Structure 1
Amino acid sequence: MAASGEPIIEMRNIVKRFGNVEALSGVSMTVRRGEVLGLLGDNGAGKSTLVKTLAGVHDPDEGEIIVKGKPRKPWTPLAARDAGIETVFQDRALAPQHSIVTNIFMGREMTNWLGLTQVQKQVDEANRLMREIGFTSKVFNPESTVGHLSGGERQGVAIARALYNKADVIVLDEPTTALSLTETQKVFRFVEAVRASGRTVVFIGHNIYHVWEIADRFFVIDRGREAFEGEKSQFGGADHLIELMHQLAETGQADVGSLTEPAA
């Protein structure tokens, strides 16, 4: 599905320095509604800094963040969450000894006017969220222990938590790392369900074939700068994208003239 939604988040000319090191050098990236944006780059390219800036962990030294057409300053984790951005980092920040429902609502419990947790309401909402993202297994229910879930299913719990937190944009940092093919396909199904709901996913990965399978559009960063971007339809397949990235690694440039015009 090619994405053509309006911009939700625009990062314009973002510069981020750590001492004398400029980790991001004028990067501009747009995140659109209802797409899966594949964020790619070699180790040290600046992906992590860009993701942490998007998540509000880093406030840009220069440039601006535009949320639904309005500049936001200062840019903090609270501001990013208020803008509807939820980030699932590689460790997923889950408590494996606790239940699915506890992990989804931890720190944001549903309470009544007395401040008491509404246990059944949380179970019902957790069940709804699990079904919404395609948690079809009847083996598990909201009160199942997270530690008994597979890697792909744990990603699903983290995504469900992000949806409960009213996310418009869910950033997945290397969600298929160390997962089997079967578990990777589970993650893809969860991502497809999020996209089908009109929300956006930023999918960061090292395995280009994985990112190619799920993404609508690609943004490639190299040595702290945006290298190239394009709709999936502009590339001649995953191998074409890989070849462009190999060119970047070897020469610092990519033959973007080989990209076709975007599909109408």
Structure 2
Amino acid sequence: MTTTAEPTTEPTSGGGGTPLIELKNVGKSYGNIIALSGINLRVGAGEVTGVLGDNGAGKSTLIKIMAGLHQQTEGELLVDGVDTKFSSPKDALEQGIATVYQDLAVVSLMPVWRNFFLGQELRKKGFLRQLDANAMRATTKEELHKMGIDLPDVDAPIGSLSGGQRQCVAIARAIFFGARVLILDEPTAALGVKQSGMVLRYISAAKEQGFGVVFITHNPHHAYMVGDHFVLLNRGKQKLDCKYDEISLDDLTKEMAGGDELDTLTHELRR
């Protein structure tokens, strides 16, 4: 039976120590199209790195590189300080890097516990190797409870849960199966205020337990609530790289909205 992997690196909320994952001058081209160029990013244990950007900024390409779906065409990707090349998402998972995509890849009509163990089911000993449903139910409830998620019925279809609850189940699943770094793809994009708050609390809980989190979002308010470090992408390039105490929410929002371009537009519309 797989057990939760505890992070092996001491928390580095101050930015010191060896990052769990680091990108150095990473770029990605598809033929003549440059999707990313000169990206530098580091994620330490016990840190949330917010990666912000509008549609087309390069966030999806960045996710695919860190998740092992694509290899960069330039630069280095380091895991625990070691230059690493992922040939598949399985390679990334074996290094403890798990990605929770926006669509979650859940089977809506299946119960919560079946989705929690989807593809990695526990089986009873013996010739028939039947599914150990009781063990999976108990483990699912226990692991969700550890992370502050109290579901009254893990037999309920996962599609009956709120969007925030489904996100939290997916994150808890990734942690249980060995993640040290969580890459979260727009986890609050389609959620209301209350459900977004649930996910943000969960991100904060994961950070406090020593996990590294890459929080991909286009919402600077959400990023600022939990982030320790912010990277802003714009048309495939890195526009901003700063720590929490180096920027205010207003300035982060302004940079995200276009900075000087937004001031020019406001002046034009107010004339």
The alignment's TM-score, normalised by the length of structure 1, stands at: 0.87
1:75-86 map, 5 Å? 75-86=87-98
How far the C-alpha of 1:221 sits from its partner, in A, is 1.5
User: Which one-letter code corresponds to 1:72 in the other structure?
Assistant: T
Look up the SS of the partner of 2:20 in the other structure.
strand
Deviations 1:97-141 (A, max 9, x none): 01111001010112344443222221121112111221135xx33
How far the C-alpha of 1:31 sits from its partner, in A, is 1.2
User: Which one-letter code corresponds to 2:249 in the other structure?
Assistant: A
How far the C-alpha of 1:197 sits from its partner, in A, is 1.4
2:6 corresponding residue in structure 1? none
Q: 2:117 aligns with which of 99, 102, 105?
A: 105
Is the Cα–Cα contact under 8 Å of residues 12 and 46 in structure 2 kept in the other structure? no
Matched, 1:124 2:138: yes
1:72-221 map, 5 Å? 72-114=84-126, 115-137=129-151, 140-221=152-233
* Uncovered stretches (5+) of structure 1, i.e. residues with no partner: 252-264
How far the C-alpha of 1:52 sits from its partner, in A, is 1.0
CA distance in 1, matches of 2:26, 2:87: 12
2:59 corresponding residue in structure 1? 47
How far the C-alpha of 1:245 sits from its partner, in A, is 3.1
CA distance in 1, matches of 2:197, 2:86: 38
* Uncovered stretches (5+) of structure 2, i.e. residues with no partner: 1-10, 263-271
1:239 corresponding residue in structure 2? 250
Residues 249 and 103 of structure 1, relative CA distance in 2, 3 Å threshold: farther
CA distance in 1, matches of 2:153, 2:12: 34
Give aligned pairs, total. 248
Residues 109 and 92 of structure 1, relative CA distance in 2, 3 Å threshold: same
Q: 1:37 aligns with which of 32, 36, 49?
A: 49
CA distance in 1, matches of 2:97, 2:38: 21
CA distance in 1, matches of 2:259, 2:42: 21
Q: Percent identity between the aligned chains?
A: 38
Look up the SS of the partner of 1:221 in the other structure.
strand
CA distance in 1, matches of 2:66, 2:260: 25
How far the C-alpha of 1:214 sits from its partner, in A, is 1.8
Matched, 1:3 2:17: no
- Deviation above 4 Å: which 4+ runs of structure 1? none
User: Which one-letter code corresponds to 1:213 in the other structure?
Assistant: M
CA distance in 2, matches of 1:31, 1:108: 27
Residues 248 and 17 of structure 1, relative CA distance in 2, 3 Å threshold: farther
Is the Cα–Cα contact under 8 Å of residues 2 and 217 in structure 1 kept in the other structure? no
Matched, 1:224 2:236: yes
Is the Cα–Cα contact under 8 Å of residues 68 and 86 in structure 2 kept in the other structure? no
Is the Cα–Cα contact under 8 Å of residues 219 and 228 in structure 1 kept in the other structure? yes
Is the Cα–Cα contact under 8 Å of residues 220 and 256 in structure 2 kept in the other structure? no
CA distance in 2, matches of 1:245, 1:125: 41
Deviations 1:193-236 (A, max 9, x none): 2112111211111121111112121111122122221111111x
CA distance in 2, matches of 1:229, 1:56: 23
User: Which one-letter code corresponds to 2:139 in the other structure?
Assistant: E
How far the C-alpha of 1:156 sits from its partner, in A, is 0.9
Residues 130 and 67 of structure 1, relative CA distance in 2, 3 Å threshold: same
Is the Cα–Cα contact under 8 Å of residues 164 and 191 in structure 2 kept in the other structure? yes
How far the C-alpha of 1:50 sits from its partner, in A, is 0.6
User: Which one-letter code corresponds to 2:204 in the other structure?
Assistant: E
How far the C-alpha of 1:95 sits from its partner, in A, is 0.9
